[in-house]
Amino acid sequence: MTTKAEEVSAQSTPSAERDTARDTERRGSLAATEKGRWERLWPVIACGAGLFSDGYLNNVIGPVNTILARIYAKEYSTSRAQANVTSITFVGTVVGMLFFGYTSDHFSRKWSLFTSTIIILIFAALGAGAYGAGGSAGGLLAALVAYRFFLGIGIGGEYPAGSVGCAESTGELKAGTRNRWFILFTNVMIDFGYVVAIIVATIVVVACGENHLRAAWRICLALGVIPPLSLLYLRLKLQEPEAFQRESMTQTKTPWMLVIKFYWYRLLIVSVIWFIYDFSAYSFGIYSPVILGNLLGESAPLWKNLAWNILINFFYMPGCLAGAFTADRLGPKKTLAIGVIAQAIVGFIMAGCYPYLNKPENVAGFVVVYGLFLALGEFGPGDCIGLIASKTCATSVRGQYYGIAAALGKIGAFAGSYALDSLQRSAPTATAKGQYPFWVASSLAVFAGALAIFALPKIGQDTIETEDIRFREYLERNGYDTSKMGLKSVGSEDSVGREEERKAE
């Protein structure tokens, strides 16, 4: 039997390291597969780049909601339609993460991802063409809410099927570059989708004119069909990642109690950090109206409002791009910790200086400091939490592990939107209303940084392979037959080979 420390953190001993080296040599490194550079890289792109749809379709609903509020002012003022249209996608995304987390582990990475892509295509198109019963505005909004829920299910599949497949495919790339490629085609894609969504909405509103907003919102949603459609062929050509072919439990029973005993602690830590990140990242849009109100006033045309939002959203990009390359140099654990602690410092400064930053004459300073706050969030947890979730567990249960952590992150986003809004409404003064969210978010960021430093394991370039080997050894020590693992018959040979070498020693 193993000790709790071995089961929770899977720390290497000299003997375990020798076993790991022998196993890797026998099985062959993932990077040693006989493939050309493009043959190794395109599965990373095909699996990860679909998260652009997450960024685009989640962020474009902001301007679409603004447009719908202008067209259907009466319906929006007498119902929760606006909140429902915005937030229902989060609910669907949580369902999709959990559902596709299970199917990607128990059936197929490829077909789970392909199915989620089809769902996104269908419901993105239906949302753009939504019509209410009898032509009523209430019916239209109800239909849009329903379509957005199912769209969220498709987007949810991009995480445990797409991001997980992306992480496993990076194991075949050159060591020293694997983290950046994962981040470039996951979080950078989400942030790029955010920026493109606002740019597209601005162009569409200017092109249609504010007298044709009914066409504008439909065009904005319809263009969301293009990203998943562009990846459909690549995803159809995908093969299961090499790591999944070696370690899958699709042909055997999953030992749930052993899995929980081995990974519950890591999953808890990763989930809490992801919850804290999304709590802040998705809810800090509450400051955009403050900034724009100081810049433009209430009578500004819609296109100007959207154009300034481009600048605010653009701050995500330098942060996520810098974090992608830093994660290879320092490792995702250190990069995440540096990002959240630096973000906390900036947040505390903003809270203290808010009475001055919030003045109309200082709005430029507010935009810059607020943008730095957002950029640091992307540099650290934005880039690294998905990377950490994909590399801190074994391939055989990675989809479910990742799906649960990501789902709890989305619940954090949902909770943060309501919590910070309630916090502002309960504030005694206008200054306190602006300060409270920064105090809360910065305090949580310090806590997340401490968790990263003290509770996360070290993550290297070869962690996917070494973690698979450690997990197999743990299962074998606890009497589980690993010979049926994998889509290739490698498990039995590995188990026998290891046992013979140990006896020889």
Q: pLDDT tens digits for the chain (505 residues)? A: 333 333 444 444 444 444 544 454 445 566 556 666 778 888 999 998 889 988 999 889 888 988 888 888 877 766 666 677 778 888 999 999 999 999 999 999 999 999 999 999 999 999 998 887 666 777 888 889 899 999 999 999 999 999 999 999 998 888 899 999 999 999 999 999 999 999 999 999 999 988 889 999 999 999 999 999 998 998 999 989 989 999 999 999 999 999 999 999 999 999 999 999 999 888 787 677 667 776 677 677 888 888 888 888 899 999 999 999 999 999 999 999 999 999 999 999 999 998 888 888 888 888 888 899 999 999 999 999 999 999 999 999 999 999 999 999 999 988 888 888 888 888 898 888 889 989 999 999 999 999 999 999 989 999 999 999 999 999 999 999 999 999 864 444 444 444 444 444 4
Are 276 and 420 members of one domain? yes
Question: What was the pLDDT predicted at 124?
Answer: 93
CATH for 324: 1.20.1250.20
Are 65 and 185 members of one domain? yes
Are 204 and 263 members of one domain? no
Measure Cα distances from 112 to 98, 148, 159, 256, 390 in Å: 12, 20, 11, 21, 17
Burial of 436 (0-12, 13-18, 19+ CB in 10 A): middle
Counting Cα atoms < 13 Å in the Cβ hemisphere of 156 gives 32
Are 307 and 408 members of one domain? yes
Nearest to 170 by CA among 12, 324, 323: 324
Question: What was the pLDDT predicted at 110?
Answer: 94
Are 260 and 191 members of one domain? no
Measure Cα distances from 17 to 23, 103, 467, 471 in Å: 10, 32, 11, 13
In a domain, 22, yes or no: no
Domain that holds residue 259: 254-461
C-alpha span between 364 and 386 (Å, rounded): 33
Question: What was the pLDDT predicted at 81?
Answer: 66
Are 299 and 235 members of one domain? no
In a domain, 473, yes or no: no
Give how many domains the chain has, as a whole number.
2
Are 222 and 266 members of one domain? no
**461, 483, 498 - which closes a domain:** 461
In a domain, 300, yes or no: yes
State the CB neighbour count (10 A cutoff) for residue 155: 31
Question: What was the pLDDT predicted at 365?
Answer: 85
For the chain, what's the residue count? 505
User: What angle separates helix 430-455 from helix 332-357, to the nearest 10 degrees?
Assistant: 170
Are 72 and 120 members of one domain? yes
Are 365 and 264 members of one domain? yes
Q: Which residues contact 215 (CB under 8 A, 6 or more apart)?
A: 208
Contacts of residues 61-65 at CB distance under 8 Å and 24 or more positions apart, as own/partner, are 61/85, 61/86, 61/89, 61/148, 62/86, 62/197, 62/198, 62/285, 62/309, 63/197, 63/198, 63/201, 63/202, 63/205, 63/217, 63/220, 63/306, 63/309, 64/201, 64/217, 64/220, 64/221
Largest CA distance in the chain: 82
Q: Which residues contact 467 (CB under 8 A, 6 or more apart)?
A: 10, 391, 392, 393, 394
How many Å is the Cα radius of gyration of the chain? 24
Are 201 and 283 members of one domain? no
In a domain, 49, yes or no: yes
Are 236 and 280 members of one domain? no
Are 278 and 404 members of one domain? yes
* E strand or H helix at 405: helix 398-425
DSSP state, 428? S
Nearest to 385 by CA among 330, 317, 322, 335: 335
Q: Which residues contact 242 (CB under 8 A, 6 or more apart)?
A: 30, 33, 168, 171, 172
**224, 244, 264 - which closes a domain:** 244
